[in-house]
């Protein structure tokens, strides 16, 4: 057998060492070829009497990130081809047979009659960890990079190669369901305590430890294949089972609003599988997995949250022909909440940071913010004291702009005032070396306007972070009218260095993410002024798939900030640019009631110190209109939330603000949580078809006004039957 992805070597003790080391890849991935090759190794292990046991390890820094999801996309497409050729039943059978090959392979490992041990270093996730679970012994390295887990739920799937059944037989059901539903990456010590790995050892020893276990001549039988095996939490139809599965179903309904069929199918796989012998349980899992794999939710989430995101993270939008930059030192001007966060994530990436503010006390306060964040990680066991000290050592807090002289990139994060930013630009450029790039972290001010204050507009770019910087994964990189390719490339290199996902947008009011999310909050405000109960607004928004309601979100970003944006919009574009009902509501709350949002403990919600937030009872007096909740069309409310955002996303494509459909969908989900199960606003439109979406928008326009009017591009797509992804396979161009 030709060894391409795995190297197999038999030693004098009869132990077969299998090293997974795929050529031309930085990480091992389960591809169709790799699966076939591993299957051949299993055949050899079963056939050769000289082989007493197997130890599998990785030849790379990490074990494996799991299955190649593009392979799973291909299996889903197989269904459409087979259905067209042979009918529904044959197509479903084809997908079932193809999608369960990995599950059957792992079952052969488990029942091969020879013991398999696995040595894990770095990440071991998804289908790779399902391989580990099928092995008879698992040794994990105790270094900081090692993680195990089953994150498939995050891309619309669930563990379909035996993961649901093995985890549920290793852990009590409540722990198993929590692990499967969260999809978290688990550290080695915790994994050992959960019995997900058997031993934790120094990285240099993990293969030897695995071999040492094999030399003890262990039984090659899993507990669940032995007579008399008892489930850790007792039978499903027991007191413990009744205390687990009905609440789990309720939690699923509460957390997902029924929008994620993969999670319900996963619960079903565990519930039904635990009542069956292992082979039948795996068949149940495979049937449910094949069904989920064909779902539109899985297709949309895999494309956006795996394929598109991976492509963007690898530099899909980076200008060609520009040499990759090696950023050694980054300046951050403005050590407030945003600037301090930018300094923290930059230092976390191993880059030296110069943190500048108006005086030393303000700069020191920004560094203390970083100290608090990293100290919290140390307290949780996610970082060491040495790592904390090293990170803080990379941050220099100062009030001296001259300290920016040797920075490769400087990011200003000062107050959102054009005059203040103009002063900062002048001070920074007086100190910058000629080849350095200047970036503005503005969320509302046009980059091209700010660049007019620069003596080097071609080296001026926008880098818009989202709050809180340390948690939010999206960064908008904004091209001004004169931004050059080198400035854009350096900005994208920087975003890659801090391990966040970039989208490139053309300069415009609100850029992309803020523009769409403002439309979302506007709908919440208008519903409130129409008399829709506040609690219904918040709950229906979550039913639509949004992570938080629009009123809660507005509290987080601050009501007075919303009013400032509204005032600025009116000043620049005129009275017609703002909605009078929204303006009246915000002025009443901010100027009359003094309710600014979470930051002063009162907004649409009350935030009692040490207590749980609750909707402010006074909203009933602020809003005169009252509607009967039972007479409100909930489906229409859901549509309003999603259509309002999707319309603005479509407009940004027509206007050339967005030139790559992947960026709109990835940006919408990462930036403001647009219903992830849809794959993003453009995927949502494509999924129902532009014609159906235009009809939906026009119905809302007739009832609620011109903000729901479809744009010309949507009418064109509806007339031609095209999709966004179909027409704009490459970068889109602004409509003439």
- State how far the Cα of 321 lies from the Cα of 137, in Å rounded to an integer: 49
- State how far the Cα of 502 lies from the Cα of 495, in Å rounded to an integer: 6
Written as six digits, the tokens of 17 are 């060492």
Please report which helix (H) or strand (E) contains residue 146, including its range: none
pTM, two decimals, is 0.92
Residue 436, SS3? coil
Which spans in 303-380 are helix H?
309-313, 337-348, 360-379
Written as six digits, the tokens of 119 are 């040595």
Torsion of CA 640, 642, 648, 651, to 10 degrees: -100
Q: Where are the beta strands (DSSP E) in 414-545?
A: 437-440, 460-465, 474-479, 501-506
Please report which helix (H) or strand (E) contains residue 53, including its range: strand 53-58
**Is residue 303 within 8 Å of residue 295, measured between CB atoms?**
no
- The pLDDT assigned to 240 comes to 86
Longest CA–CA separation in the chain, Å = 85
Task: Give me the sign of the Cα torsion angle 203, 107, 170, 67.
Answer: positive
Confidence of residue 479 (pLDDT cuts 50, 70, 90): very high
- The pLDDT assigned to 736 comes to 29
**Is residue 6 within 8 Å of residue 18, measured between CB atoms?**
yes
- State how far the Cα of 338 lies from the Cα of 342, in Å rounded to an integer: 6
Residues with Cβ within 8 Å of 95's Cβ and at least 6 positions away in sequence, in order, are 75, 76, 78, 79, 82, 290, 293, 294
Place of tokens 């039957």: 721
Q: What is the mean pLDDT of the chain?
A: 94
- The pLDDT assigned to 338 comes to 93
- The CA–CA distances, whole Å, from 350 to 328, 394, 562, 704 equal 9, 8, 35, 51
- 352 has pLDDT over 70: yes
- State how far the Cα of 711 lies from the Cα of 656, in Å rounded to an integer: 13
- State how far the Cα of 605 lies from the Cα of 76, in Å rounded to an integer: 44
Residues with Cβ within 8 Å of 85's Cβ and at least 6 positions away in sequence, in order, are none
Q: What digits encode the pLDDT tens for the residues 536-570?
A: 999 999 999 999 999 999 999 899 988 988 888 88
- 700 has pLDDT over 70: yes
- The pLDDT assigned to 577 comes to 86
Q: What digits encode the pLDDT tens for the residues 583-623?
A: 999 999 999 999 999 999 999 999 999 889 999 999 989 99
- The pLDDT assigned to 532 comes to 97
Confidence of residue 228 (pLDDT cuts 50, 70, 90): very high
Q: What is the DSSP letter of 65?
A: -
DSSP string, 95-108: HHHHHTHHHHHHHH
Q: Could you tell me which CATH class the domain 6-298 is placed in?
A: alpha beta
- 445 has pLDDT over 90: no
- State how far the Cα of 190 lies from the Cα of 423, in Å rounded to an integer: 51
Mean pLDDT of 483-489: 97
**Is residue 108 within 8 Å of residue 222, measured between CB atoms?**
no
- The pLDDT assigned to 731 comes to 54
- 734 has pLDDT over 50: no
- 427 has pLDDT over 60: yes
Written as six digits, the tokens of 153 are 């739920």
- State how far the Cα of 609 lies from the Cα of 534, in Å rounded to an integer: 22
- State how far the Cα of 316 lies from the Cα of 666, in Å rounded to an integer: 13
Please state the domain extents for the chain. 6-298, 329-507, 514-727
**Is residue 329 within 8 Å of residue 354, measured between CB atoms?**
yes
- State how far the Cα of 642 lies from the Cα of 546, in Å rounded to an integer: 9
- State how far the Cα of 530 lies from the Cα of 533, in Å rounded to an integer: 9
- The pLDDT assigned to 72 comes to 84
Residue 661, SS3? helix
Q: What digits encode the pLDDT tens for the residues 239-250?
A: 888 899 999 999
Q: What digits encode the pLDDT tens for the residues 71-105?
A: 888 888 888 899 889 998 998 999 999 999 999 99
Confidence of residue 646 (pLDDT cuts 50, 70, 90): very high
Q: How many CB atoms lie within 10 A of CB 493?
A: 21
**Is residue 494 within 8 Å of residue 525, measured between CB atoms?**
no
- The pLDDT assigned to 1 comes to 54
**Is residue 669 within 8 Å of residue 304, measured between CB atoms?**
yes
Task: Give first-to-last CA distance, the chain, whole Å.
Answer: 59
- The CA–CA distances, whole Å, from 338 to 198, 466, 603, 690 equal 43, 8, 22, 39
- Cα-flanking dihedrals φ and ψ of residue 471, to 5°? -105, -35
- Kindly state the percentage of the chain with pLDDT values over 70: 99
Q: How many CB atoms lie within 10 A of CB 230?
A: 10
- State how far the Cα of 220 lies from the Cα of 305, in Å rounded to an integer: 38
- The pLDDT assigned to 567 comes to 86
Residue 183, SS3? coil
- 258 has pLDDT over 80: yes
- State how far the Cα of 138 lies from the Cα of 214, in Å rounded to an integer: 11
Written as six digits, the tokens of 624 are 């005169």
Q: Which of 685, 325, 647, 245 is nearest to 486 (CA)?
A: 325
State the catalytic residues. Answer: 464
Written as six digits, the tokens of 1 are 């057998």
CATH code at 329-507? 3.40.50.720
Residue 485 exposure: Cα atoms within 13 Å on the Cβ side: 8
Strand partners, 76: none
CATH fold label, 514-727: 1.10.1040
- 574 has pLDDT over 50: yes
Confidence of residue 730 (pLDDT cuts 50, 70, 90): low
Instruction: Please state the three-class secondary structure of 220-231 as a single string.
Output: CCCHHHCCCCCC
Q: What digits encode the pLDDT tens for the residues 200-218?
A: 999 999 999 999 999 999 9
- State how far the Cα of 300 lies from the Cα of 295, in Å rounded to an integer: 9
- State how far the Cα of 37 lies from the Cα of 512, in Å rounded to an integer: 45
- State how far the Cα of 111 lies from the Cα of 113, in Å rounded to an integer: 6
**Is residue 346 within 8 Å of residue 496, measured between CB atoms?**
no
- State how far the Cα of 594 lies from the Cα of 552, in Å rounded to an integer: 17
- The pLDDT assigned to 10 comes to 96
Confidence of residue 728 (pLDDT cuts 50, 70, 90): very high
Residues with Cβ within 8 Å of 696's Cβ and at least 6 positions away in sequence, in order, are 639, 643, 688
Strand partners, 329: 352
- State how far the Cα of 170 lies from the Cα of 115, in Å rounded to an integer: 18
Which spans in 503-633 are helix H?
513-530, 534-543, 550-557, 559-573, 580-587, 619-622
Residue 607, SS3? coil
Distance of CA 7 to the CA centre of its chain: 34
- Cα-flanking dihedrals φ and ψ of residue 505, to 5°? -130, 150
- State how far the Cα of 236 lies from the Cα of 274, in Å rounded to an integer: 7
**Is residue 483 within 8 Å of residue 457, measured between CB atoms?**
yes
Sheet holding 437-440, edge to edge: 395-398, 352-356, 329-333, 409-412, 437-440, 460-465, 474-479, 501-506
Cis peptide, bond prior to residue 468, ω within 30 of zero: yes
- State how far the Cα of 400 lies from the Cα of 361, in Å rounded to an integer: 12
- The pLDDT assigned to 2 comes to 66
């Amino acid at each position: 057998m030709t060894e391409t992805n795995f190297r197999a070597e038999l030693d004098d003790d009869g132990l077969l060492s299998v090293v997974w080391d795929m050529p031309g890849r930085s990480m091992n991935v389960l591809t169709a070829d790799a699966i076939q090759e591993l299957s051949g190794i299993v055949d050899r292990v079963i056939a050769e009497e000289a082989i007493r046991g197997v130890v599998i390890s990785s030849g790379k820094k990490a074990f494996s990130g799991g299955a190649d999801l593009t392979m799973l996309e291909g299996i889903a497409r197989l269904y459409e081809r087979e259905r067209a050729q042979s009918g529904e039943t044959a197509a479903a059978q084809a997908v079932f047979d193809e999608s369960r090959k990995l599950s059957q392979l792992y079952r052969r490992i488990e029942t091969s009659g020879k013991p398999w041990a696995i040595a894990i270093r770095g990440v071991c996730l998804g289908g790779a960890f399902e391989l580990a679970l099928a092995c008879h012994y698992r040794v994990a390295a105790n270094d900081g990079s090692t993680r195990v887990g089953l994150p498939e739920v995050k891309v619309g799937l669930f563990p379909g190669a035996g993961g649901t059944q093995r985890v549920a037989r290793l852990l009590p059901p409540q722990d198993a369901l929590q692990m499967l539903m969260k999809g978290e990456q688990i550290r080695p010590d915790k994994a050992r305590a959960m019995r997900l790995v058997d031993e934790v050892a120094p990285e240099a020893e993990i293969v030897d430890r695995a071999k040492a276990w094999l030399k003890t001549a262990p039984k090659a039988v899993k507990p669940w294949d032995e007579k008399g095996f008892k489930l850790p939490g007792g039978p499903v139809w027991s007191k413990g089972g009744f205390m687990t599965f009905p609440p789990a179903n309720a939690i699923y309904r509460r957390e997902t609003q029924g929008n994620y069929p993969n999670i319900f199918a996963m619960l079903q796989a565990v519930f039904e599988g635990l009542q069956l012998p292992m082979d039948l349980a795996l068949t149940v899992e495979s049937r449910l997995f094949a069904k989920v794999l064909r779902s539109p939710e899985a297709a949309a989430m895999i494309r956006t949250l795996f394929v598109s995101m991976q492509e963007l993270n690898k530099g899909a939008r980076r200008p060609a022909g520009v040499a990759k930059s090696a950023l050694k030192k980054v300046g951050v001007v403005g050590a407030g909440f945003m600037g301090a966060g930018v300094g923290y994530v930059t230092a976390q990436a191993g880059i030296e940071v110069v943190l500048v503010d108006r005086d030393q006390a303000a700069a020191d306060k920004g560094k203390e913010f970083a100290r608090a964040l990293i100290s919290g990680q140390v307290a949780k066991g996610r970082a060491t004291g040495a790592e904390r000290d090293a990170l803080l050592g990379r941050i220099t807090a100062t009030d001296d702009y001259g300290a920016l002289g040797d920075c490769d990139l400087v990011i200003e994060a000062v107050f959102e005032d054009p005059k203040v930013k103009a002063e900062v630009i002048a001070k920074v450029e007086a100190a910058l070396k000629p080849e350095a790039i200047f970036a503005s972290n503005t969320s509302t001010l046009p980059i091209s306007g700010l660049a007019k204050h620069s003596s080097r507009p071609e080296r001026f770019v926008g880098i818009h972070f989202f709050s809180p910087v340390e948690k939010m994964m999206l960064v908008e990189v904004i091209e001004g009218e004169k931004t050059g390719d080198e400035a854009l490339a350096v900005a994208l290199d920087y975003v890659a260095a801090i391990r966040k996902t970039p989208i490139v947008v053309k300069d415009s009011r609100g850029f992309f993410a803020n523009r769409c999310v403002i439309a979302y909050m506007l709908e919440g405000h208008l519903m409130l002024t129409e008399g829709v109960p506040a609690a219904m607004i918040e709950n229906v928004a979550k039913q639509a798939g949004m992570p938080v309601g629009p009123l809660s979100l507005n509290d987080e970003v601050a009501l007075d900030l919303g009013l400032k944006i509204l005032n600025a919009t009116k000043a620049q574009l005129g009275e017609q640019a703002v909605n009078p009902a929204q303006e009246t509501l915000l002025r009443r709350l901010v100027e009359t009631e003094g309710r600014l949002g979470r930051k002063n403990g009162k907004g649409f919600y009350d935030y009692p110190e040490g207590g749980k937030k609750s909707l402010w009872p006074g909203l009933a007096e602020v809003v005169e209109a009252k509607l009967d909740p039972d007479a409100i069309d909930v489906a229409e409310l859901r549509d309003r939330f999603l259509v309002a955002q999707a319309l603005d996303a479509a407009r940004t494509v027509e206007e050339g603000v967005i030139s790559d459909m992947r960026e709109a969908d990835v940006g919408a989900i990462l930036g403001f949580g647009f219903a992830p199960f849809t794959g993003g606003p453009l995927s949502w439109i494509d999924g129902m078809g532009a014609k159906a979406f235009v009809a939906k928008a026009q119905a809302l326009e007739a009832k609620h006004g011109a903000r729901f009017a479809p744009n010309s591009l949507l009418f064109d797509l509806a007339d031609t039957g095209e999709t966004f992804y179909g027409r704009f396979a490459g970068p889109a161009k602004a409509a003439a």
